[in-house]
Amino acid sequence: MHNERGVILLVVVWSLVVLMVIALELGRTARVEGISTDVYQQEAKTYYLAMAGLNHALYQLVRAGQQGRARQNRDGGGDRAQLDSNEQGPKECPDAWRLGDGQWKNEFSGEGGYQVRVSDESGKININQADEVILRQTFTNLDFDPDFGDALADAILDWRDPDDLERLNGVESDYYLAQDIPYPAKDGPFDVIDELLLIRDVTQDLFYDTLKEVFTVYGTARAGNMANLMTAGPGVIMANRGVDAETAEEMVRQRQENCGEDFLDGTVARGALPTIVTIESVGYLNTGRITRRLSGVVQRTGGRSFRMLRWQDRLPSPELPIKIDDQGSGDDVYENF
């Protein structure tokens, strides 16, 4: 009888242990599912906020094109759409989203907001059309180590030329096929600027921090392969003019203050709308730690029409370009989903 009671006690104890384990597992599962649901909701909200920002910028570009065409028809001439709505009154600077000068703008919307910039692709150096001299000079002006700059220039030239002959500091397929994940040299022009990540010695930091801001694959080269300095960013101005970062930033600031007039060589009329632009938009929530970054390369094909040349749905976005705490909304750290 005593043995039977002991067995029953053991069964009860083990049953309680099993029930506790099941309860703990159910609680953990419910918590994980709750967190996943919350993350999904935040991710969906940031995605649509980013889409709102991108479409807002796209609307501004289309609207500016319509206004420019209407003004040309009214005035009976002119081959470039101007952005000034009151030519007789005081001149106002065109909206940065229309001009395409790559300046980030922040807009609050509901529970969060979006940050957008429009970058004129003609304000960068076309990597397919830049010759050896320009590539080497670009890396020299960007203050690269001379040996590294020469090696990078040769590697880029070997990647895009049609032959399999290695330059003095270049590499061809033999080098790339020996990598952990082998691939051959393209021996053709760059289709997207991200191909630079396949070039020897190009790290993600170098690409995203410098090369992506300086080079493009879109548009045709201007005189001497020079970029459009009316919309070029600080990195391109450094690459073209050989000035330091502080001077380049000051040039951009002066250009904004003067609405682009009499800036550097003044080769582009103020207010001329860019033809191909990259629109980047980052959606964020005030109460969350998630952001979503989208990008589209857009070509204007008329006053009311455009076409999407490239779409990227999930870009790295470790932090917001414009810090929210700078605008009095706290100092939360945001992470890319």
Which of 294, 235, 317, 272 has the alpha carbon at shortest distance from 116?
294
- Residue 332 pLDDT: 40
The structure's pTM equals 0.77
Distance of CA 46 to the CA centre of its chain: 17
What is the full per-residue pLDDT of the chain (337 aa) written as tens digits?
556 666 777 778 888 888 888 888 888 888 887 777 787 888 899 999 999 999 999 888 888 767 655 555 555 544 444 444 444 444 455 565 667 888 889 999 888 999 999 999 999 999 999 999 999 999 999 999 999 999 999 999 999 999 999 999 999 999 999 999 999 999 999 999 999 999 999 999 999 999 999 999 997 655 455 788 888 899 999 998 889 999 999 988 888 777 655 454 444 444 567 889 999 999 999 887 789 999 999 998 876 788 999 999 888 877 888 887 644 444 443 344 3
Domain edges within the chain:
125-226
Closest CA to 50 of 292, 316, 269, 305: 292
Architecture of domain 125-226: Orthogonal Bundle (1.10)
Predicted pLDDT of residue 325? 62
Taking each continuous run of H as one helix and of E as one strand, the counts in the chain are 9, 8
Contacts of range 313-321, beta carbons closer than 8 Å, 24 or more positions apart: 315/280, 316/208, 317/282, 317/291, 317/292, 317/293, 320/115, 320/282, 320/284, 320/291, 321/104, 321/115, 321/117, 321/282
Q: Which H/E stretch holds residue 277?
A: strand 276-285
